[in-house]
Amino acid sequence: MNENKASSPTSQSPQTDHPLNQHDAIQQETLVRNGKRPIVSVQGLNKAYGSRIILKSVSCDFYRGQIVVIVGRSGSGKSTLLRTIAGLTELDDGTITIDNELVCDGDESTDQWDEQRRKIGMIFQSYTLWPHLSVYKNLALAPRKVLKLSESDIRAQAQRSLEAVGMEQYIDSMPSTLSGGQRQRVAIARALMMNPQVLLCDEITSALDPPVAADVLAVLTKLKERQNMAIILVTHDMSFAARAADKVLFFSAGEITTYGSFNDARNHRENKELQTFINAITVS
């Protein structure tokens, strides 16, 4: 992801006047010339519940091989953006494109949605593992129902997915025997079962102790590097953003107010709300 609305070639007007947008626009032109296209593009997204505006003209592109950390106050629209990309929340207006295919136009889904949504995996804070099913059976549900894979293929895919998160030895364990961090790793492995190109992570470490959260976030970094995935992560962990994020996207009242590298965000002194997040950590 290399631009906000100002730097996207399909956008019409900037969302912020911060100078980093011009730099990102130049980067985007270079990427397009080199044939690299966004795996997910959202343009002009609007969502409201009654008089409460949740998303306001949100436009952004996301690229494979990048971690984008989305930060902002509670209720600023972060999770809603993820849910609209995943197809869990209807839009009022705007478009969503996945792998160059239009999948959503306003509140209408296109014929491409069912095929393209398989490229999107989503992980939640609460793990959402079935407690009465083993790790393997939790992982097997979606590929058996959606991909119609054979049992041997599902087992092999489960083994690969668990190996990717360091949990292969727990394939036949029950969720109740696992720690919180282990269950979150299993949730990541379950998302990998559908071979996604994009992982949406909604506050997946907020209920974990800091050392455990760091281990889970390290798994995401490895996935980006080894599988060239786009990882879009909503978190309040600004230390992770400082260490691992390729881009930081800051939400305020449903709008993107800053977008760029962590250093870009740190140097955006005019955004006082963002600086309160950054000042909560010490970056060497």
Q: What DSSP string describes 233-272? A: EE-S-HHHHHHH-SEEEEEETTEEEEEE-HHHHHH-TT-H
Q: What is the spatial distance between Cα 34 and Cα 26, in angstroms, rounded to a whole number?
A: 13
pLDDT digits (tens, 9 = 90+) for 219-252: 999 999 899 999 999 988 788 888 888 999 988 8
Residues 6+ apart with CB under 8 A from 17: none
- Number of separate helices (H) and strands (E) present in the chain: 10, 11
Burial class (CB in 10 A: 0-12, 13-18, 19+), 282: exposed
The string of pLDDT tens digits covering residues 232-241 is 999 887 888 8
Listed residue (3, 10, 64, 63) closest to 28, CA to CA: 3
In the chain, how long is the greatest CA-to-CA distance?
A: 56
Amino acid (one-letter) located at 214: A
Q: What is the pLDDT of residue 125?
A: 83
Q: For helices 151-164 and 210-227, give the axis angle rounded to 10 degrees.
A: 120
Using alpha carbons, select from 151, 176, 181 the residue that is nearest to residue 166.
Answer: 181
Helix axes 151-164, 180-192, angle to 10 degrees: 130
CA distance 53 to 152: 48
Instruction: Give φ, ψ of 282 to 5 degrees.
Output: -115, 120
Confidence of residue 274 (pLDDT cuts 50, 70, 90): confident
Segment 15-65, tens digit of pLDDT:
443 434 434 443 454 444 345 899 999 999 999 999 999 999 999 999 999
Domains of the chain, start order: 20-278 (3.40.50.300)
pLDDT at 189 over 80: yes
